[in-house]
Amino acid sequence: MSSKPRIVDDQLWSLVEPLLPKWPERSPGPRPVDDRRCLRGVLFVLYTGITWQQLPMELGFGSGQTCWRRLGRWREAGVFEALHQRLLAELNAAGQIDWSLRLRGRLPREGEKGGDATGPSPVARGRTGSKHHVICDGKGTPFTVITTAANVNDVTQALALVDGIPPVAGRPGRPRSRPDTLLGHKAYDSNPLRRELRNRRIQPVISRKGSTNIQGLGTLRYVVEQTFALLHQFKRLAVRWERRPDLHEALASLACALICWRRLRHR
């Protein structure tokens, strides 16, 4: 990833600006840094992975503390979740959503120890870490990202991922939030999970432990691996540094929205 400042182009800003909470016309203290510049600062941290304290003041984004506080304000307002949902609707309207979904869990590289949603990593000699759980469509477009402790079993988050899919508009009728099928590897082998998915009118396609994989599942799994690669290109997500899981998940929502935005621009 380039370390050059990321410009928030006019088209993207036209989508983001209406979602931002408004500042009071008369408020005590100095005039707050412009939201657009703060967003550029947040993007700079998200892309490069530097700490908030290292954000260069000379780039005009305000201090790292200013951008960090603004990110918290936007998280409370649900800005990036709303942006992600709107971009999913535009992709759906363009026929770019494949409603056969895939899910997967993966550990980011080891980062800062401590904080919420951390636990002993099963692949790093018990060091403290976190895990990302992702559900994406058949083309690799991310729908939901959940962050848990590193020792959380993938199957425990499957229904949370499915139920966390936002209602996706863009087509006639009610917004859609249920896939046709859900693909998963043997880590998701669970009869109660299959039963719950069928109750939601979702067809589970999940390999069983001790048997050969469902034919072609490896090729289909490549899609979700590609989604993880796209998410972890954002260096602030590739290593878990945020001690507050709510801010980490806000950055993950922003990353999902940016992936959708790229796909809309290049379809």
The CATH number linked to 108 is 3.30.420
Residue 234 pLDDT greater than 90, yes or no:
yes
Is 206 among the domain residues? yes
Using only C-alpha atoms, the chain has a radius of gyration, in whole angstroms, of 19
Give yes or no: residues 139 and 66 share one domain: no
Give yes or no: residues 59 and 150 share one domain: no
Helix or strand (DSSP H, E) at 74: helix 64-77
Give yes or no: residues 66 and 120 share one domain: no
Cα-to-chain-centroid distance, residue 181: 21
Which tokens is 158 given?
A: 């499957």
Q: Among 46-60, 78-92, 133-147, 215-229, whose mean pLDDT is lowest?
A: 215-229
Structural domain harbouring 73: 10-21+30-77
Percent pLDDT > 70 in the chain is: 82
Is 109 among the domain residues? yes
On average, the pLDDT of the chain sits at 85
**Contact of 241 with 112, CB cutoff 8 Å:** yes
The predicted structure's pLDDT at residue 1? 43
pLDDT-derived band at 18 (thresholds 50, 70, 90) equals very high
Residue 237 pLDDT greater than 60, yes or no:
yes
Q: What is the dihedral of CA 186, 188, 189, 191, to 10 degrees?
A: -170
Nearest-CA neighbor of 88 among 10, 183, 171?
A: 171
* CA–CA separation, 157 and 71 (whole Å): 26
Question: Letter for the amino acid at 159?
Answer: L
Is 217 among the domain residues? yes
Give yes or no: residues 56 and 149 share one domain: no
Q: State the distance between the two ends of the chain, measured CA to CA, in whole angstroms.
A: 22
Give Cα separations from 231 to 43, 201, 210 (angstroms). Answer: 13, 29, 31
Among all chains, which residue has been given the structure tokens 């182009």?
9
Max mean pLDDT among 59-63, 109-113, 178-182, 221-225 falls in: 178-182
Give yes or no: residues 107 and 157 share one domain: yes
**Contact of 200 with 158, CB cutoff 8 Å:** no
Give yes or no: residues 112 and 213 share one domain: yes
**Contact of 25 with 72, CB cutoff 8 Å:** no
Is 49 among the domain residues? yes
Residue 232 pLDDT greater than 80, yes or no:
yes
**When comparing pLDDT for 91 and 112, which is higher?**
91
Give yes or no: residues 72 and 174 share one domain: no
- Specify the number of domains making up the chain: 2
Give yes or no: residues 110 and 73 share one domain: no
Residue 195 pLDDT greater than 60, yes or no:
yes
Give yes or no: residues 133 and 203 share one domain: yes
* CA–CA separation, 93 and 111 (whole Å): 39
Is 48 among the domain residues? yes
**When comparing pLDDT for 196 and 116, which is higher?**
196
**Contact of 155 with 240, CB cutoff 8 Å:** no
Is 264 among the domain residues? no
* CA–CA separation, 253 and 83 (whole Å): 9
Is 266 among the domain residues? no
**When comparing pLDDT for 3 and 220, which is higher?**
220
